[in-house]
Amino acid sequence: MSEKTLMGPWVRRFLLEHLVSERNLSHNTQASYRDTLTLLLPFAGKHSGCAIDRMTVEDLTPGIVRKFLEHVESVRGCSGVTRNNRLAAVHSLAKFIGMRSPLHIAWATEIRAIPFKKTAKNLIGYLERAEMEALLKSPDRRTELGDRDYAILLFLYNSGARADEAAGLLIRDLHLRAAPAVRILGKGNKHRLCPLWPVTVSALSRLVAGRVETEPVFLGRRHERMTRFGIYRLVTHYARLASKSAPSLAAKRVSPHSVRHTTAVHLLRSGVDINTIRAWLGHVSLDTTHVYAEVDLEMKATALASVDIKGLPGAEPRRTRLPSLMAFLKGL
């Protein structure tokens, strides 16, 4: 049995050579592809009756891949989007093998013919001003840990950073003096600069005072770098506490990403143009940022109220003034 027949050497080359050296994909994409194969190969070995280390390329049949995708949705309880992400990794592996081994072109074609599932586009979730204020007031800032948690929540709201971007932030990435800003490493290993509000500068200055610039900004209880999972748990914890003063939070799924959406919607309401918001959040395309204009009910209501309907019986035009983001920040 040659190496061109065994699946193992192909997987090794795919993960270590193709994704890293040839395509230079981001760490998160590499991890996603790795996790897909970590789930797929044992599943395929069980259904083909073959040990993983002796599995051939042909043992991974299109039928097994389809069963795996059903397993992802029905047993693991993943969404259609996650199912499609797993399939994209399998497609990429099949393309990699097919382009380098003429013997497996037919196999690769069959695997890549497995279609993606059409999924409904869910509306993004974001917090209203009162809800965001309740979330920021939840940490007990009289304690060192509470002050740190407040700084994390405020930084997420200010920057619109993803959880892993906040977790990977180093002290040297902060510029807290003249023209305060933060340098964030985002998707595709691209950096972006985001301005910091005075209240954020104050919170971060207390947090990093006297520390080495190569240290992570946000540390856990054991003074180790926080992970994105730790930041996720922190946000959900304070969302539950905040729901006592803002009951509407109980019906919402609050996460670091919904705080990111909140940043975009609040900036948009305050009159910031869509292209600036795109750069603020690190979106590659404006199409991604335009979704915030579609979901903001307050702006839609304002637009509706500004329409002249004097000719309709019993109707009077109303104009609503949007609250200023800076006015909200002064209350923090």
| Structural tokens at position 1 | 């049995």
Known catalytic residues? 162, 187, 257, 260
Using DSSP bridges, classify how beta strands 191-195 and 174-175 pair: parallel, antiparallel or unpaired.
unpaired
Rounded to whole angstroms, how far apart are CA atoms 234 and 145?
11
Cα end-to-end distance, the chain, whole Å: 67
| Structural contact between residues 154 and 332, judged by C-beta atoms closer than 8 angstroms | yes
The crossing angle, in degrees rounded to 10, of helices 80-100 and 62-74 is: 160
Pairing of the two strands 181-185 and 174-175: antiparallel
Q: Which of 291, 283, 240, 331 is nearest to 126 (CA)?
A: 291
Length in residues, the chain:
332
Question: 60-93 burial, b if ≥16 CB within 10 A, otherwise e?
Answer: bbbebbeebbebbeeeeebeeebbbbbbebbbbb
Write the CB contacts of 42 (distance below 8 Å, at least 6 apart in sequence): 52
Of 89, 218, 197, 56, whose CA–CA distance to 149 is shortest? 218
